[in-house]
Amino acid sequence: MMFMMATLAVLIAMALVVIRAMRGPTVFDRVLAGNVIGTLAILLLAVVGFLMGRPEWLDIALTYGLLNLISTLAVLKFFRHGDLAFLPKEAPKQ
Amino acid sequence: MRTLSLGLVLFAFWLALSGHYTPFLISVGGVCVVFCLWIAQRMQVLDPEGHPIGMLPGTLTYYPWLAFEILKSSLAVAKIILAPSLPISPTMTTVTARQKTPVGIATFGNSITLTPSTLTTGISGNEITIHALTREAANDVQSARMNSRVTQFEGRT
Amino acid sequence: MTLELLIQSASWVLLVVGSVFVVIGAVGLLRMPDIYTRLHAASLIETLGAGCLLLGLMLQAGATLVTLKLVAIFLLFLFTAPVATHAVAQAALHQDIQPRLAEDRRTQVDAPPEREGA
């Protein structure tokens, strides 16, 4: 019952954040929305794991949390330099 | 000494996440811990900055205080979001961090960011640029309450 | 018996508060006018919303390994959320996206922000 409610709340929040990701005027709004969706997905995994009585999903949530940070940083670095692996002296002028 | 404490922490982490206590899995965990310690030694990150185990006693008092701060400012931000007129007054300002070590300055910056309604946008030396959602939040950070608290937390190492 | 009831109701309250804050944060993400103010709304989800939900789940799980894993997820949020938020804000400033400000108390406005090592 209460897990159901928490799941619904997280799903509603996700839908709202997806609207922001589609509307976002700058690329950073979309990156932020992606990061928040990742956070919400971790919460969703934890809550649904409890709802279905399968707490093993927490391991997946933990892995997803680590990937979420790395992917956010990688995307930001890509938009900042236009490249993921550049030598410092070749760094493009901003 | 620091190697030993890092090894113990890593092994406890393995035991907590594994949940299966057969001799084979525990010995695999031991091998992984030794491998991680070797890599840490090779990368030379086994210093007070890479493994700040000495700060552990301080966290017991610092994190509850930080949680209370987060609760207070979260309520303020929630009130702003739900108000129909959206009464924000974004402010950017700089604060001088009083901490001496890089760990202390990073802790201060992260604490500022972790509190909703203030966020760190840049750090150079010990000058921290922050963006605050309202004037009151900016005044709060500049009033050095959190600053001195983090200094106290850092000083206990 | 009463203790169990107390824990159950505390977990109820925490889950409800967490859900409410998660939805408020998402609404804030839609309502705020520019990227820097949206970051504040996002950090509402990542700190109080996630914290309350995970604490409520911890009370449900009791003293088991599941609680330890929830604590690990909580610590992960505690350390990664500010890094991601800071990275987005710094990258946006680097791209010369000017924040809408009511007041600017910065000492040097033109200097680009330095890279943070931590």
Q: SS3 of A91, please?
A: coil
Q: SS3 of A59, please?
A: helix
Residues of chain A contacting C57 with CB distance shorter than 8 Å? 46-47, 50
How far apart (Å, rounded) are the C-alpha atoms in residues C60 and C31? 34
Q: Cα B41 vs. chain centroid, distance in angstroms?
A: 24
CB contact under 8 Å between C105 and B92, yes or no, is yes
For residue A39, the surrounding DSSP H or E stretch is: helix A27-51
CA distance C67 to chain B (A): 10
Quote the tokens at residue B52: 């700040």
pLDDT digits (tens, 9 = 90+) for C25-79: 898 888 888 888 888 888 888 888 888 999 998 888 877 888 888 888 888 888 8
Beta strands B127-132 and B91-96: pairing type?
antiparallel
pLDDT digits (tens, 9 = 90+) for B35-69: 998 998 888 777 777 677 777 777 788 888 888 88
CB contact under 8 Å between B91 and C85, yes or no, is no
pLDDT of amino acid A40: 92
Q: What is the mean pLDDT of chain B?
A: 82
Of A12, B67, B116, nearest in space to C46 by CA? B116
Confidence check: pLDDT of C117 > 60 = no
pLDDT of amino acid C118: 39
Beta strands B91-96 and C103-104: pairing type?
parallel
Its domain, for residue A48, covers: 2-90
Q: SS3 of C103, please?
A: strand
pLDDT of amino acid C111: 47
More confident residue, C104 or B91: B91
How far apart (Å, rounded) are the C-alpha atoms in residues A9 and A15? 10
pLDDT digits (tens, 9 = 90+) for B83-111: 888 788 888 888 888 777 778 888 888 88
Q: SS3 of A36, please?
A: helix
CA distance B67 to chain C (A): 9
For C:44-63, CB contacts with A below 8 A are 45-46, 49-50, 53-54, 56-57, 60-61
pLDDT digits (tens, 9 = 90+) for B66-84: 888 888 888 888 888 888 8
Residues of chain C contacting A58 with CB distance shorter than 8 Å? 66, 69-70, 73
Residues of chain B contacting C21 with CB distance shorter than 8 Å? 74, 78
Residues of chain C contacting B94 with CB distance shorter than 8 Å? 105-107
The crossing angle, in degrees rounded to 10, of helices B56-82 and B135-142 is: 160
How far apart (Å, rounded) are the C-alpha atoms in residues A33 and A24? 8
pLDDT of amino acid A87: 55
Categorize the per-residue pLDDT at C108 as very low, low, confident or very high, splitting at 50, 70 and 90. low
Of C6, C34, C14, nearest in space to C98 by CA? C34
CA distance B97 to chain C (A): 14
Quote the tokens at residue C44: 């509402």
Residues of chain C contacting B114 with CB distance shorter than 8 Å? 43, 47, 78, 81-82
Query: What number is the ipTM of this complex?
Result: 0.80
How many domains, in total, are found in chain A?
A: 1
SS (H, E, C) chain B: CHHHHHHHHHHHHHHHHHCCCCHHHHHHHHHHHHHHHHHHHHHCCCCCCCCCHHHHHHHHHHHHHHHHHHHHHHHHHHHHHHCCCCCCCCEEEEEECCCCCHHHHHHHHHHHHHCCCEEEEEEECCEEEEEECCHHHHHHHHCCHHHHHHHHHHHCC
Place of tokens 């600017």: C104
Mean pLDDT of C69-93: 87
pLDDT of amino acid A90: 53
Amino acid at A54: R
Instruction: Work out whether the CA dihedral C117, B116, B53, B20 comes out positive or negative.
Output: negative
CA distance C6 to chain B (A): 22
Of A91, C19, C24, C95, nearest in space to B76 by CA? C24
Confidence check: pLDDT of A94 > 50 = no
- Beta-strand ranges (E) seen in C1-118 are 103-104
Mean pLDDT of A46-62: 86
More confident residue, A39 or B54: A39
Quote the tokens at residue A30: 């979309």
Shortest CA distance from A79: residue in chain C: C91
Q: Percentage of chain B surpassing pLDDT 90? A: 3
How far apart (Å, rounded) are the C-alpha atoms in residues B64 and C78? 13
Mean pLDDT of A52-57: 81
